[in-house]
Structure 1
Amino acid sequence: MIIRHRNIININLGIIVQIAVAAGQKVMQIYDQDHVDVELKNDLSPLTIADKHSHQTIVSQLQKYYKDIPILSEEGAAIPYHERKSWDMFWLIDPLDGTKEFIKRNGEFTINIALIKDQKPVLGVIYAPVLDTLYAAKQGLGSFKIESSAQCRLDDEKAITEQGTVLPVFNNNDVVRVVASRSHMSPETAAFIGKLKDSHQQVEMISSGSSLKMCLVAEGTCDYYPRFAPTMEWDTAAGHAIVEQAGGDVCMANTKEPLIYNKECLRNPWFIVSR
């Protein structure tokens, strides 16, 4: 039986922004400590107490405001497909995207919250607590960047549209800029950049961590983010919404079709983000 949930128009983007900022504040309490213990998950990826605290904060708050919408989180992803395949709408969260960046203490990690409807991301919030920068988007509303966001009152959508900068911001056609991962660089990515250099006079490469790469494309700082390395659905969902609502695309590298969500296997295919 298909579970039908409320319409996206009734989802308050301001509430989701507040939840992301609250989770970011929890993460910063741990980030500011002298030492953070690191565990290894089954796939050998790192896990910290910050991941767990952020997960708990987000889940408890989402259940408080939208208890009828199920949640899929990186730190609680063991929900069988036979159960979640009936979800037409659900929250998809990455409580701490860029745990490696968190451990390296370079500040390039984020809290990601997305709303998926019919396998498509229709709302996304990405908060970078060290940078105190937030990106937020909702279908029909647009895509926005808010700096010094912890100091802003963002409890409703009107506040976001009034205080946020509408994306995209930049439109420099003289130089093609490609953003790539600090932690993952593959031969395929290098080949993609090489092809751009063959067809454009000026191509620059920028390195960044976590979902901030997608945000750089959404705001127009970069033109492409090629990803020819493994990612999971929670890594991309919020950024996907932000890019699309800013007029960009997040497409599978082989078919040029948009990424879809809530697949039986939650791993993403290779993809290219473009503006």
Structure 2
Amino acid sequence: MEQRYILNAIDAALHAGADILSIYNDPASDFEIEKKADNSPLTIADRKAHETITGYLNATPFPVLSEEGKHLPYTERCGWDSLWIVDPLDGTKEFIKRNGEFTVNIAWVSHSVPVMGVIYLPVKQELYFAEEHIGAYRLSGITSRGDVSLEELMASATRLPAEAARDKFVIVASRSHLTPETESYIEEMKRQHAEVELISSGSSIKICLVAEGKADVYPRFAPTMEWDTAAGHAIARAAGMEVYQAGKEEPLCYNKEDLLNPWFVVEPKRMKY
């Protein structure tokens, strides 16, 4: 993938993050919360971030599939070999709670595989970016790119995974969607490992924690959509991890007829014999 497209996605994520923060940090804002058809919340920040991101991505040759955009029928999408998959504000519930655990997710998908991903945490000013040929990186304290090149961004960032030595098996789980199946998985891991630590977090941060090496596994036995995982999946892949369908050897794939993901587990890539 050409570097200009990665930089385009990074700029889109950073500017969308600034838009989100301008609403998030306004004490007078009520976020203009609406309910979508599936009863999930939608705020003015979701809509503004969507407009900003699509403004950047529409300048590229690739179509955009955004959570907050128009979802075209599969009869049209099936002809898209490459596309952007976007969640303008992942973790809207966390945004409404004002706990800071929300992200901007932008992925570039080629032939159903997420090969480039950008995730931005506006409150923490942390940027994750990855492409399958250059690897995965985390950059802290960034709010805009200016005229900095991709090589300069990579040089000032931390290459992932940046593993820290630990004597515990660390599981990261959803703060808002801890299902009985996930709890059963955690109990099984406790039987297999001497000491298990559980980290709860919101949004796509959970996938990033595994990509970083801060967590060993992220089980998700609850519904997610393609835009929830595509960017994190790209970052995980570039860091030597994978997002496997639960109980299978196959990873998640994208731009399916049904945009709902199967259950999955994020973990280091399995050895093939």
- Fold shared per TM-score above 0.5: yes
The structure 1 segments of at least 4 consecutive aligned residues displaced by more than 2 Å after TM superposition are 9-12, 151-156
Which of 252, 256, 270 is matched with 1:259 structurally? 252
Shift of 1:78: 2.1
1:194 equivalent to 2:175? Answer no
- For 1:47, the equivalent position in structure 2 comes to 42
Which of 213, 219, 232 is matched with 2:212 structurally? 219
Deviations 1:138-166 (A, max 9, x none): 11010000000116557432122111100
Shift of 1:256: 2.3
| Contact 2:14/2:144 (<8 A) preserved | no
SS in 1 for 2:143: helix
Amino acid aligned to 1:194: E
- For 1:59, the equivalent position in structure 2 comes to 54
Shift of 1:15: 2.4
Q: Give the total of aligned pairs.
A: 266
Alignment of 1:17-96 (within 5 A): 17-34=10-27, 35-64=30-59, 66=60, 68-96=61-89
RMSD value over aligned CA atoms? 1.3
Q: Which runs of 5+ in 2 are unaligned?
A: 269-273
Q: Which runs of 5+ in 1 are unaligned?
A: 1-7
Q: Percent identity, aligned pairs only?
A: 49
CA distance in 1, matches of 2:213, 2:145: 24
| Contact 1:143/1:166 (<8 A) preserved | yes
CA distance in 2, matches of 1:206, 1:140: 30
Shift of 1:12: 3.5
| Contact 1:153/1:159 (<8 A) preserved | no
CA distance in 2, matches of 1:245, 1:113: 15
Normalising by structure 2, we get a TM-score of 0.94
Shift of 1:33: 1.7
| Contact 1:13/1:156 (<8 A) preserved | no
SS in 2 for 1:75: coil
Alignment of 1:85-234 (within 5 A): 85-150=78-143, 153=146, 155-172=148-165, 174-234=167-227
CA distance in 1, matches of 2:177, 2:82: 31
Amino acid aligned to 2:153: I
| Contact 1:14/1:155 (<8 A) preserved | no
CA distance in 1, matches of 2:86, 2:2: 20
Which of 257, 261, 266 is matched with 1:273 structurally? 266
Amino acid aligned to 2:34: E
CA distance in 1, matches of 2:141, 2:57: 23
Normalising by structure 1, we get a TM-score of 0.94
